[in-house]
C-alpha cells in the first residue's frame, strides 16, 4: 500500500503518551486562560521528546514480552494437543455445524482488485474535480454541482481526505488541502444537520489530522466543533436536529413534532470525545457524554430504543424500533465508544450487550425458503407486530456483531482467549449470517446491486427469500454491506468476503459508471439491465464504499488501520483508540436494570467456529404476529 500511517502518529495507549499527559498537567498550562494559542497548541511537550527518553526501555520491554509470550504460547499449544479440541470457557460443549459452509477459494494476491478500486475512486474524483470542484452536491449526468447553503461546507472534499491519503493520491490530496486552507470557512449563516455535519465534516477533519498530523485539519475541526456545540443547548442536553453555524443556535426538526433522531443524537460521541483528547478541553467530552446519560435514563425495554427523542424533555417519542434509518448507529456507537477508550468504559459494553440480547430476542428471523437471517422492524414496540422490512442500512450490523464479539481481534485469536463465551460465539455467528444475507440482497437481483429496502418472506408466501417494491428498487452506492465484508474478512480471514466484495464492485462498475469522464452515479432500478440514472453521486461513495473495498483487498505486510488500534466512525473515518485517563472519566453510572419479563427462548446451541465462519444461526422465538396470525 502506498500510504503508511506516519510514525509520528500518537499511540494514545502507550506509556509515552501517558507520561506526556502527566508532564502537561504538571506544567500548569493545562487549564491556562491567558494563552493566545488554542489549548492543543499550548501543549509544551512533543511526542518526540518523550519517545527519546523511553525508546530504549520500550525496546527491552518489547523483547522481554515477545519471549514470555512465545513461552506461554508453546505451553498452551501443548496442553491443547492433549485435549483434542477447545471447549468454550463457560463449560458449554461444542456443537456440530448444520448450516451454510461458505468458504472462499485461496488467493494470495489481490493487488489487481485493489488497483481497480483505486481507479474507480480516481475516476469519480476526477469527474467531481472537473465539473463540481468545491461544491457540496455533484450531478454526473448534467455535469453540474451546487452548494447546500450560501457557501460550501466541503461535503465531498473533507469527507474524502483520508481516502486520498490511504490511496496515496498525493497530487489530489495537495489540491484538496489547498482548498481546505483557502476556501473552507464554517462561519455560514445556514442551518446544517447536526449529525451529518459531525460524522462527515468533523469526522473527516479529525481523521485527516490523525493520518497526517497536519494542524490545519485540527484547526478547522476545533472551529467547526465549537459551532456544533450550540446544537446541544437544549433543556435536556440532547442535540437539536440542526444548528446554525453562524449564530451557533440549535434548531428543532421541522418534522416529527420537533423530535431529534435517536441514532443521530447518539452518533456524535466518537467525534467529540476524540476532539477532547486532542485539545485537552473537557467540554466536548462532557457535552457528548451527557446525551448518553439522558438516553439511558429512559430505561428502554431490553435495550431497544425508539427512533425519536425530544431534545427539550430528553424523553423518547413513540415506540418505533428498528436498526435502519434513525436507529442504526445508536447501537454501533455503543460498542465503539467502549473500544475507543481502550475498554475502560464498561458502561457502554453493558448497554451494547443488553441491546444485542434484545435484538436477538425480538428482531431476528429467518427467511423462507433460503433461511437467510434478517433483522426486521417493530413499528409498535416490543409487544407489537413484527415487520419483515429491512433497509440496506441494516447491513452494517453484520460487521458490528463481529466487532462486538471479537473486539477487533481475529477469530483464531479470540477462540484461544479466556473471555471467549457462548454469547460471543453466537454473536459472531449472527454477524456471519447477516453478512451473507446482505450479500444475497445483491446477488439475487438482475444487476447484482442491492435495492434500498427489501421485504423478507417468512410465511411461504413467495418463491424467493425477499421482494422489492418499485419505490425501493434504487441503489445509492451505499457502503453498509461492503463495510461488513471488510470487518468479516479482517476477523475471520475467510476469502469468501473478498470474493463477494469483488463481485459487488464489478456490478458497480458495470451499472453505475457513467460513460465519458463524469465518474459514477446512482441508479433507479436494480431489477433492470438498463437502469435509469438518478443524477447524484453521494460523498459516501468516496469516503466509505470505495474506502472499505480498497481496504478489503489490502495485502500490505503491515496491516493498514488494524482494528485493534483504531475505530471507524459511522462515516468510515478512522480514529485511534486512546487512554482517557488522567484527563477524562465517565461522568455517569447506570441505575440498576430491572429484570424484564421475557417469553421463553429457544436454546441457542453453538460450537467453536472452525476456519470457515459457517454455521446455522437459530434465532429465538418471536411472538406471533397478531395481524398475520
In 265-407, beta strands by DSSP E: 308-309, 316-317, 364-366, 373-375, 377-378, 386-387, 389-391
CB 550 within 8 Å of CB 1 = no
Asked whether residue 492 is marked as a ligand-binding residue, the answer is no
Name the DSSP class of 200.
Answer: I
Residue spans of alpha helices (H) in 457-599: 480-492, 496-512, 540, 546-552
Q: With the C-alpha atoms ordered 408, 411, 415, 420, is the resulting torsion angle positive or negative?
A: positive
CB count within 10 Å of CB 249 equals 14
Q: In the beta sheet, which residues pair with residue 513?
A: 520
Q: With the C-alpha atoms ordered 616, 622, 626, 627, is the resulting torsion angle positive or negative?
A: negative
CA nearest to 330, candidates 317, 321, 339: 321
Q: SS in 3 state form for 441-468?
A: HHHCCCCCCCCCEEEECCCCCCCCCEEC
- Residues acting as catalytic residues: 196, 328, 452, 480
Please tell me the distance from the alpha carbon of residue 494 to that of residue 328, in angstroms, as a whole number: 26
Task: Say which residue the cell 447553503 belongs to.
Answer: 149
- C-alpha angle 223/542/484, rounded to 5°? 105
Helix-then-strand count for the chain, H and E: 21, 17
| Dihedral class, residue 4 (left if φ above 0, else alpha if ψ from -120 to 50, else beta) | beta
CA nearest to 13, candidates 52, 43, 58, 53: 58
Q: Inter-axis angle of helices 269-279 and 203-212, to 10 degrees?
A: 40
CB count within 10 Å of CB 218 equals 22
Instruction: Tell me the binding residues for Ca(2+).
Output: 570
Amino acid at each position: 500500500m502506498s500510504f503508511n500511517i506516519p510514525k509520528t502518529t500518537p499511540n494514545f495507549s502507550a506509556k509515552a503518551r501517558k507520561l506526556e499527559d502527566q508532564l502537561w498537567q504538571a506544567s500548569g498550562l493545562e487549564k491556562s486562560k491567558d494563552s493566545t494559542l488554542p489549548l492543543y497548541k499550548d501543549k509544551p511537550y512533543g511526542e518526540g521528546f518523550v519517545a527519546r527518553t523511553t525508546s530504549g526501555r520500550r525496546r527491552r520491554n518489547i523483547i522481554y514480552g515477545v519471549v514470555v509470550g512465545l513461552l506461554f504460547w508453546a505451553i498452551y499449544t501443548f496442553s491443547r494437543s492433549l485435549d483434542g479440541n477447545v471447549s468454550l470457557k463457560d463449560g458449554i460443549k461444542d456443537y456440530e455445524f448444520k448450516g451454510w459452509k461458505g468458504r472462499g477459494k485461496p488467493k494470495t494476491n489481490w493487488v489487481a482488485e485493489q488497483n481497480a478500486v483505486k481507479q474507480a475512486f480516481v475516476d469519480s474524483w476526477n469527474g467531481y474535480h472537473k465539473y463540481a470542484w468545491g461544491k457540496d452536491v455533484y450531478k454526473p449526468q448534467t455535469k453540474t454541482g451546487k452548494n447546500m447553503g450560501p457557501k460550501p461546507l466541503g461535503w465531498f472534499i473533507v469527507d474524502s481526505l483520508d481516502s486520498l491519503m490511504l490511496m496515496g493520491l498525493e497530487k489530489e490530496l495537495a489540491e484538496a488541502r489547498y482548498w481546505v486552507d483557502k476556501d473552507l470557512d464554517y462561519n455560514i449563516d445556514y442551518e446544517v444537520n447536526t449529525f451529518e455535519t459531525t460524522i462527515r465534516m468533523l469526522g473527516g477533519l479529525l481523521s485527516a489530522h490523525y493520518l497526517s498530523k497536519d494542524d490545519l485539519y485540527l484547526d478547522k475541526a476545533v472551529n467547526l466543533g465549537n459551532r456544533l456545540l450550540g446544537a446541544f443547548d437544549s433543556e435536556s442536553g440532547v442535540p437539536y436536529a440542526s444548528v446554525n453555524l453562524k449564530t451557533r443556535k440549535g434548531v428543532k426538526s421541522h418534522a416529527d413534532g420537533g423530535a431529534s433522531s435517536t441514532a443521530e443524537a447518539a452518533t456524535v460521541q466518537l467525534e467529540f470525545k476524540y476532539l477532547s483528547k486532542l485539545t485537552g478541553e473537557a467540554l466536548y467530552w462532557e457535552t457528548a457524554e451527557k446525551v448518553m446519560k439522558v438516553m439511558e435514563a429512559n430505561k428502554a425495554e431490553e435495550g431497544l430504543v425508539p427512533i425519536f427523542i425530544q431534545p427539550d424533555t430528553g424523553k423518547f417519542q413513540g415506540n418505533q424500533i428498528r436498526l435502519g434509518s434513525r436507529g442504526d448507529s445508536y447501537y454501533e456507537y455503543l460498542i465503539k465508544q467502549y473500544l475507543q477508550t481502550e475498554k475502560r468504559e464498561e458502561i457502554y459494553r453493558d448497554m451494547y450487550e443488553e441491546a444485542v440480547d434484545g435484538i436477538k430476542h425480538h428482531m431476528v428471523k429467518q427467511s423462507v425458503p433460503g433461511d437467510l437471517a434478517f433483522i426486521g422492524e417493530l413499528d409498535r414496540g416490543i409487544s407489537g407486530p413484527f415487520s419483515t422490512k429491512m433497509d440496506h442500512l441494516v447491513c452494517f450490523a453484520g460487521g458490528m456483531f463481529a466487532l462486538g464479539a471479537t473486539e477487533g481481534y481475529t477469530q483464531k485469536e479470540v477462540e484461544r482467549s479466556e473471555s471467549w463465551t457462548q454469547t460471543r460465539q453466537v454473536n459472531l455467528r449472527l454477524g456471519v449470517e447477516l453478512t451473507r444475507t446482505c450479500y444475497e440482497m445483491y446477488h439475487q437481483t438482475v444487476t447484482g446491486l442491492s435495492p434500498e429496502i427489501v421485504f423478507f418472506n417468512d410465511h411461504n408466501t413467495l418463491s424467493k427469500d425477499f421482494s422489492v417494491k418499485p419505490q425501493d428498487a434504487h441503489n445509492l452506492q451505499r457502503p453498509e454491506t461492503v463495510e461488513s465484508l471488510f470487518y468479516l474478512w479482517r476477523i475471520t480471514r475467510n476469502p469468501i468476503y473478498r470474493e463477494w466484495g469483488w463481485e459487488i464492485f464489478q456490478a458497480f462498475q458495470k451499472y453505475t459508471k457513467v460513460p465519458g469522464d463524469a465518474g459514477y452515479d446512482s441508479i433507479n432500478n436494480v431489477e433492470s439491465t438498463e437502469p435509469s440514472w438518478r443524477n447524484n453521486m453521494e460523498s459516501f461513495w468516496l469516503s466509505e464504499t470505495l474506502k472499505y473495498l480498497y481496504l478489503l483487498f489490502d495485502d500490505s505486510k503491515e496491516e493498514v488501520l488494524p482494528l485493534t488500534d483504531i475505530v471507524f466512525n459511522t462515516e468510515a473515518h478512522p480514529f485511534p483508540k486512546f487512554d482517557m485517563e488522567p484527563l477524562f472519566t465517565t461522568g455517569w453510572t447506570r441505575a440498576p436494570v430491572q429484570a424484564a419479563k421475557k417469553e421463553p427462548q429457544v436454546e441457542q446451541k453453538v460450537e467453536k467456529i472452525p476456519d470457515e465462519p459457517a454455521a446455522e444461526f437459530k434465532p429465538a422465538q418471536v411472538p406471533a404476529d397478531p395481524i398475520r396470525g
